[in-house]
């Protein structure tokens, strides 16, 4: 089966760092994606990992361990506008479809 788990919600303070974890069990693996989704809007791409290790992109970094079926998204210097849902998605095979987790609702407070 296909299963992607991430915490339902998290709260953090403006200026701080937050780490959102994602674990997955899928029948295949061809990359893990993180998307940001504001309420009522489309998901927007944040990061992609296919090899183990850390990918850094400005205030956002994403880590992958394929042997552990684990990824995290790290957000630094949090801003109020970072309040959103963060979606972990796995591309299970080369066909391209994305399998999404439930999403983590992040609230950034002053």
Residues of this chain that bind other proteins (CB under 8 A): 30-31, 33, 35, 40-45, 48, 50, 87, 89, 94-103
Q: Which is nearer to other proteins, 81 or 97 (CB)?
A: 97
CB of 88 to other proteins, least distance (A): 10
Q: Which is nearer to other proteins, 30 or 79 (CB)?
A: 30
Local structure of residue 93 (DSSP, 8 states)? S
CB of 73 to other proteins, least distance (A): 16
Tokens of 17: 């760092």
CB 105 within 8 A of CB 9: yes
CB of 45 to other proteins, least distance (A): 5
Local structure of residue 67 (DSSP, 8 states)? T
DSSP SS3 for 38: coil
83, HSE (Cβ side, Cα atoms, 13 Å)? 11
Residue whose entry in the numeric block shows the structure tokens 């295949």: 28
Q: Which is nearer to other proteins, 42 or 110 (CB)?
A: 42
Helices in 1-110 by DSSP H: which ranges?
Answer: none
Q: Which is nearer to other proteins, 87 or 106 (CB)?
A: 87
CB of 91 to other proteins, least distance (A): 9
């Amino acid at each position: 089966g296909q299963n992607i788990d991430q915490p339902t919600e998290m709260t953090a303070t403006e200026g701080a760092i937050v780490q959102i974890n994602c674990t997955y069990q899928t029948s295949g693996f061809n990359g893990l994606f993180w998307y940001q989704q504001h309420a009522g809007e489309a998901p927007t791409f944040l990061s992609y990992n296919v090899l183990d290790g850390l990918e850094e992109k400005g205030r956002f970094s994403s880590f992958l361990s394929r042997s552990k079926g684990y990824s995290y998204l790290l957000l630094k210097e949090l801003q109020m506008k970072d309040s959103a849902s963060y979606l972990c998605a796995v591309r299970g095979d080369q066909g391209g479809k994305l399998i999404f987790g439930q999403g983590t609702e992040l609230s950034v407070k002053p």
